[in-house]
Structure 1
Amino acid sequence: MLLTTEFTARLPGLIDTLAEQGWVVCDDFLHADEVAALRDEAGRRLAAGAFHRAGVGRAESQSVRDEIRGDSVLWLDPQQPAPAEQVYWQRIEALQQALNRELFLGIREGEFHYAQYPVGAHYQRHLDRFRDDDARVISAVCYLNPDWCETDGGQLRLWLDTEGRAESIDIAPQAGRLLLFRSERFWHAVLPAQRERWSLTGWMRRG
């Protein structure tokens, strides 16, 4: 079973913490073998040229700006998931259903992509919700980096104050870890890393 008893038992606690503080970290959202399969899938598709450089802005105003963000991405297709991606989709969908049931968030869909940061790449401080679009409700980042050390860098810096200027925490991109936070609420940034950095990143949306 892709939905384990262990995972379903943890859902109430995750949702309670998210409701209380607006963000939550879930370690071992994916197990080591599941992370390895996803990392292999992502690496194969990167080598095949399926990734593209991530841009900033929207639609025709979007542009690649290395000084703001340095990652390359590949969007997942929920209709045709690779075998390695099925466990991720099933757990995300179960999480979305639980969030709607308990917090009435009105989530209707998820959009997610692989994100690959080369050594030294970063993403400047930003919010995930656009000013004229409130569809993004919950941001979700799942890390695919085995044996990550503190000295490797690459943390996600999450600002806890509403202005995104003062109090912050740094969350290491350890393999299997899932970070959830309110898309409209939390400023965040990706710090430069000393190793290649991988994640599955995206948003639970109202549709």
Structure 2
Amino acid sequence: MNSFFSEDNWINWVDAISDNHYVVIDNILPHAVLNDLKDCFDKQREEEQLRKAAIGTLNQKHIDPSIRGDKILWLDREGAPAPILTFFDLAEDIRQNLNRYCYLSLSGYEFHFAHYPVGTFYKRHLDQFQGRNNRMISIILYLNEEWKPEYGGELKIYLEKEDVTIMPTFGRMVLFKSDVLEHEVLETKHDRYSLTGWMLYKPVGLGYLP
């Protein structure tokens, strides 16, 4: 599979992740592909396929809207429509290049659609579970057309020196170290859509999350 991006792109992005633990990439996919992804998302939402997201893992999972208010749908390559397959091709390209440049030994990934209705948020957290630390790189692709600052819903990343807030604008992708950066989704005043997931290190005997 040919890479989506040049070697120079990857060197710059890897340098940013190495120096700052995160990178923001705009216009990650062609506008037409992003529109098709959003259409897939809308179809699933209209068919009420999304479910309230839980916190915790395995037998400790529970729903707590005071911490997290999004609705999600896990994605699978098998039987997926063309736009989702294109995204999974992009994810595979990211996995291979992170392994190439960062020596991470990533063996897979998991992704879901995430819809934050008006008034919802996700409080400050780390993308790791106690006793389960195979999430290495967090990835968010935003699917919000014509997003305005007054809508809120920014991704806030907590850094050692100065925190950053990132607007969830259409076609923007954020990659960051799952085990290093605490972050939160600030309260949104407009329906907020993303495709969110993780690059995984999967030791022998460790299964993927359901």
- Give the TM-score taking structure 1 as reference length: 0.92
Report which stretch shifted further, 104-113 or 31-40: 31-40
Q: Give the gaps of 5 or more residues in structure 1.
A: none
Alignment root-mean-square deviation, CA: 1.6
Quote the Cα distance in structure 1 between the aligned partners of 2:81 and 2:26: 23
Q: Is the 8 A contact 1:3 1:90 kept in 2?
A: no
Q: How does 1:175-194 map to 2 (within 5 A)?
A: 175-194=170-189
1:147 aligns with 2:146: yes
The one of 152, 159, 162 equivalent to 1:167 is 162
Measured after TM superposition, the shift of residue 8 of structure 1 is 2.9
Instruction: Give the conservation status (yes or no) of the 8 Å contact 1:75–1:113.
Output: yes
The answer as to whether partners of 1:155 and 1:172 remain within 8 angstroms in 2 is yes
Residue in structure 1 matched with residue 50 of structure 2 by the alignment: 51
1:86 has 2:81 as partner: no
What's the TM-score, normalizing by structure 2?
0.91
Corresponding residue for residue 198 of structure 1: 193
Unaligned runs of 5+ in 2: 203-210
- Structure 2 CA distance, aligned partners of 1:135 and 1:178? 21
Partner residue of 1:30? 29
Instruction: Count how many residue pairs are aligned between Structure 1 and Structure 2.
Output: 201
- Whole-angstrom distance in 2 between the partners of 1:80 and 1:2: 23
User: Percent identical across equivalent pairs?
Assistant: 34
Which residue of the partner structure matches residue 109 of structure 2?
110
CA apart distance, 1:175: 0.6
State whether residues 11 and 95 of structure 1, in contact with CA within 8 Å, keep that contact through their aligned partners in structure 2.
Answer: no
1:2–1:90 CA contact under 8 A, matched in 2? no
Q: Distance in 2 between matches of 1:81 and 1:103?
A: 30
What does residue 64 of structure 1 align with?
63
Per-residue CA deviation, residues 154-207 of structure 1 (Å, 9 max, x unaligned), is: 00000012xxxx731100000111100000000000011121000000100012
Moved over 3 A (4+): 1-4
